[in-house]
Amino acid sequence: MKTELVDWMRVDWVLLDMDGTLLDLAYDNYFWREHVPQAYAAAQGLSVEAARAALEPHFTGLQHTLPWYCTDHWSRLTGLNMAALKRATRERIRALEGTEDFLKALRAAGKQVWLATNAHRDSWTLKLEHTGLTGYFDRIVCSHDFGAPKESPDFWNGLMARHPFPREQALFVDDSLPVLRAARAFGIGQVLAIAHPDSGQPPREIIEFPAVQRLPELLPL
């Protein structure tokens, strides 16, 4: 247990990322690295290798921008229905081990629990419905609603303007270091990294932020 990483006496609001924090990033890595190139190859009459080569510059060039997270953008670019492809692969969507226990503990402790995700509405609604986690959140905020990803100060300023909360009494957890840097710069009271977002990959070593491999390591609150 690593409860000492968080001073729970100073936490009234808990803002949680979705993919890689609550849910296994193995699904997203499969979807974008395997399923989409295969579907694009079939649609364009290409080999899977050629499809990957065609898509890769778009993937890398847009990383950490809002279009990178937008299924509508990728549908327009590829001619594929990304929302339909996600629905067709939803059986692969999984919560990370212990996620629901952690959310139950937050609710029992009376914390405000917010989901703060870069995922497009098509994606987060499908994932929360499939995993049954929707009811644990007091509020769900999506970067598309603010016109900026969580990596940008515009997201945090927009969030505060629309849904004010005491940032110094908040804990924010994410697996993305650029996102955590933006949250820290905004003045979120405590920020925490997830070191093992993908169950199919080894844990990462994170030095820049306090980190746990999975959320249940923070129990008991």
Sequence ranges of the domains in the chain = 3-24+95-218, 27-91
Specify the 3-state DSSP secondary structure of 212. Answer: strand
Assigned token pair, 62: 């847009």
**211-212 β-sheet, strand order:** 139-142, 112-117, 13-16, 170-174, 190-194, 211-212
Angle between helices 121-131 and 71-78 (to 10 degrees): 120
How do the pLDDT tens digits run along the chain, 221 residues long?
Answer: 565 899 999 999 999 999 999 999 999 999 999 999 999 999 999 999 999 999 999 989 888 899 999 999 999 999 999 999 999 999 999 999 999 999 999 999 999 999 999 999 999 999 999 999 999 999 999 999 999 999 999 999 999 999 999 999 999 999 999 999 999 999 999 999 999 999 999 999 999 999 999 999 999 99
Asked if residues 211 and 39 have their Cβ atoms less than 8 Å apart, the reply is no
Instruction: Using alpha carbons only, give the angle 198, 72, 20 rounded to the nearest 5 degrees.
Output: 15
User: Residue 3 carries which DSSP code?
Assistant: G
State the architecture of 3-24+95-218 in CATH terms.
3-Layer(aba) Sandwich (3.40)
The pTM score is 0.96
Q: How far is CA 20 from CA 10, 48, 81, 83, in A?
A: 25, 26, 24, 20
Asked if residues 6 and 218 have their Cβ atoms less than 8 Å apart, the reply is yes
Predicted confidence at residue 128, as pLDDT, reads 98
d(CA 194, CA 110) in angstroms, rounded, equals 23
Predicted confidence at residue 2, as pLDDT, reads 61
Biggest CA pair distance of the chain: 58
